[in-house]
Amino acid sequence: MAKLLTLIAQLHEFQPDAPPSPQGLVVRPSKAADLQQLGTLYFEAYEPGIACDSLDEATDDIKASFDGEYGEYWYEASPVVEADGCIVSAVMTVRRAPWDDTPDCPFIIELFTARDHRRRGLARLLIRHCLVIAHRSGETAVALRVAEDNTPARALYQSLGFSDWQSLS
């Protein structure tokens, strides 16, 4: 398994302009009623066994997120993208991660996009929306984890102002 890096975006110089939604797509906060759609998208976004071994396991993991197992779920800072009424991309954010080795700030616990909607800027769009909500709420930073060998994701996060975070412990 690849080493995970914690990245952090400091929001003190962040320009809180929400990006416009691409034509035909709707960006909105996630809601509890999205559970089944998010579970299906989460399961189908990855190769089998990478995130979850079954659709039920994926849906259970989304429910655990909603229920606060990974920190208090922040619906407003967890936007989804809809195309024709179906969720095709999502970012999931908690107000604070429960792990000792993470910064004390909102934390993106998941980001996933339907395979046929990748490479269209949806991840960038969702992270920008998350950062705007965090900034407007008075937060000073947002963090996330990424696999060290996931070069495309690291490049995306760095282009959005994320940099390496080092724990004090």
How many whole angstroms separate alpha carbon 143 and alpha carbon 155? 15
pLDDT of residue 18: 65
> Alpha-carbon distance 138 to 124, whole Å?
21
Provide the b/e sequence for 1-14 (b: ≥16 CB within 10 Å).
eeeebbbbbebeeb
pLDDT of residue 169: 47
Residue 57 to residue 95: CA distance in whole angstroms: 24
Whole-model pTM: value is 0.91
Give pLDDT, residue 100.
Answer: 87
Using one digit for the tens of pLDDT, what is the confidence trace for 32-88? 999 999 999 999 998 877 778 889 999 999 999 999 999 999 999 999 999 999 999
Per DSSP, what are the bridge partners of residue 66? none
Q: What's the alpha-carbon Rg for the chain, to the nearest Å?
A: 15
**Cβ–Cβ < 8 Å for 110, 127:** no
Q: Is 95 exposed, middle or buried (0-12, 13-18, 19+ CB in 10 A)?
A: middle
pLDDT 10s digits, 92-139: 999 999 988 899 999 999 999 999 999 888 999 999 999 999 999 999
Contact 166, 8 (CB under 8 A): no
Q: How far apart are CA 29 and CA 130, in angstroms?
A: 9
Q: What is the pLDDT of residues 146-165, one digit of tens each?
A: 989 989 999 999 999 999 99
* pLDDT score of 1: 62
Contact in structure between 43 and 52 (CB atoms under 8 Å): yes
Which residue ranges form the domains of the chain, and what is each CATH number?
4-35+74-164 (3.40.630.30)
